[in-house]
Amino acid sequence: MPDNLTAKQRSYCMSRVRTKDTDLEVLVGSELRKRGLKFCKNVTSLPGKPDIVLTAAKVAVFIDGDFWHGYRFPSWKGNLTKFWREKIRKNRERDKRNFAGIRRMGWRVIRLWQHEIKDDLPSCVERIVVAELLRNKARR
């Protein structure tokens, strides 16, 4: 997959990519609200600014795009230009660091992939609900 844009064009395109309140985040958030769960969004005090945070249960949820975060990256990285291989590799390294940092703080991390939400939203929401219930039950 060649990158046929100039640096200026690429910069403009990248600046248009949404980083919060994406369709998937809104969809998951809506389902959580229907189940009566309260949460915060994009909490800057946690590494990586999780998309959804259930503070009382200490559950951090990341909703990650398959391309940007490299779902099964080793199997398709050979199809990319050097720029994109490096970009996604760095994203994956940053994700690892952020997840480890949050876990060290005593939080549970849930990662939902784009394709998982599109294929089976109820199961994705259930993972969050179960994690929230388990954490709250353990604290009693």
Q: Which residue has the higher pLDDT, 2 or 95?
A: 95
Q: pLDDT for 76-101, tens place per residue?
A: 999 998 989 999 999 999 999 999 99
CATH of the domain at 37: 3.40.960.10
Residue 117 included in any domain: yes
41 vs 59: CA distance, rounded Å: 12
Average pLDDT, the chain: 89
For 118, residues 6+ apart whose C-beta sits below 8 A from its C-beta are 24
Q: What is the pTM of this model?
A: 0.84
Residues 22-25: contacts with CB under 8 Å, at least 24 apart? 22/63, 24/63, 24/112, 24/114, 24/117, 24/118, 25/51, 25/52, 25/63
Q: What share of the chain in percent tops pLDDT 70?
A: 84
The parent domain of residue 101 ranges over: 19-139
Residue 4 included in any domain: no
Give residue 13's pLDDT.
Answer: 62
Name the band, by pLDDT with cuts 50, 70 and 90, for residue 1.
very low
Quick count: other Cβ atoms within 10 Å of Cβ 138? 9
Name the band, by pLDDT with cuts 50, 70 and 90, for residue 74.
very high
Number of domains in the chain: 1
Residue 72 included in any domain: yes
Give residue 69's pLDDT.
Answer: 94
Closest to 61 in 3D by CA, of 14, 15, 126? 126
pLDDT at 14 over 70: no
Residue 48 included in any domain: yes
67 vs 85: CA distance, rounded Å: 11
Strand ranges inside 1-140, DSSP E:
40-41, 52-54, 59-64, 108-113
Residue 130 included in any domain: yes
| DSSP string for residues in 10-27 | HHHHHHTS--SS-HHHHH
66 vs 83: CA distance, rounded Å: 17
Give residue 61's pLDDT.
Answer: 98
85 vs 28: CA distance, rounded Å: 29
